[in-house]
Amino acid sequence: MIIVRDDMPAGLIAMEAVGEVTRADYQDIIRPELERAFAHGEKVRFLYILGSQFKGFEAAALIDDAKLGIKHLGDFQRIAVVCDVKWVNHAIKLVNVATPCPVKTFAVEQETDAISWLQA
C-alpha cells in the first residue's frame, strides 16, 4: 500500500510504502499523483519512503515503476529514496547511472536529511 504524505514542505511530493507495493498502487495512487505534478510543467522533487513497514514489491509493480520512470525520465528534478533494504539500494545505484536527475538513497533514520537534500 502507498500513502501520500501531506506533511512535507511545499514543492515536494512524498509517498510511503506500507506492506507490499502492488500494481494497483501504481495505477491508483503513484501514477495519478505524479501525473498531476508533471502536468504543472515543473520538475518534481520526489521522496519515496520504504521504511520499516515496507515488505516488498509485487513483480508487476516493479514493471510499472520502470515504465513510469522511463516515460518521465526528464520530469524529475531530484529523487530521494529512504530505505534500509540492501537490494533496493543497490538497484537504485545501478539505475542512477542512467537517470538525468540526481537520485540519492538515505537510511530510514535519515529521512530529515533526505528532505533537506531535496530542498537544496
| Domain ranges, ordered by start, for the chain | 2-119
Rounded alpha-carbon distances, angstroms, from residue 77 to 54, 87, 95: 25, 24, 15
pLDDT in tens, the chain (120 residues): 999 999 999 889 999 999 999 999 999 999 999 999 999 888 999 999 999 999 999 999 888 888 888 788 789 999 999 999 999 999 888 877 778 889 999 999 999 999 999 999
Predicted pLDDT at 2: 96
What burial class does residue 18 get, using C-beta atoms within 10 Å of its C-beta: 0-12 exposed, 13-18 middle, 19+ buried?
A: middle
* Nine-digit cell string for 111: 529521512
* Nine-digit cell string for 102: 540526481
Rounded alpha-carbon distances, angstroms, from residue 66 to 17, 70, 95: 17, 6, 10
Instruction: Report pTM.
Output: 0.91
Residue pair 91/62 in contact (Cβ under 8 Å)? The answer is no
Distance of CA 15 to the CA centre of its chain: 7
Task: Give the right CATH number for 2-119 from 3.40.1190.10, 3.30.1490.20, 3.30.750.24, 1.10.150.240.
Answer: 3.30.750.24
Predicted pLDDT at 114: 98
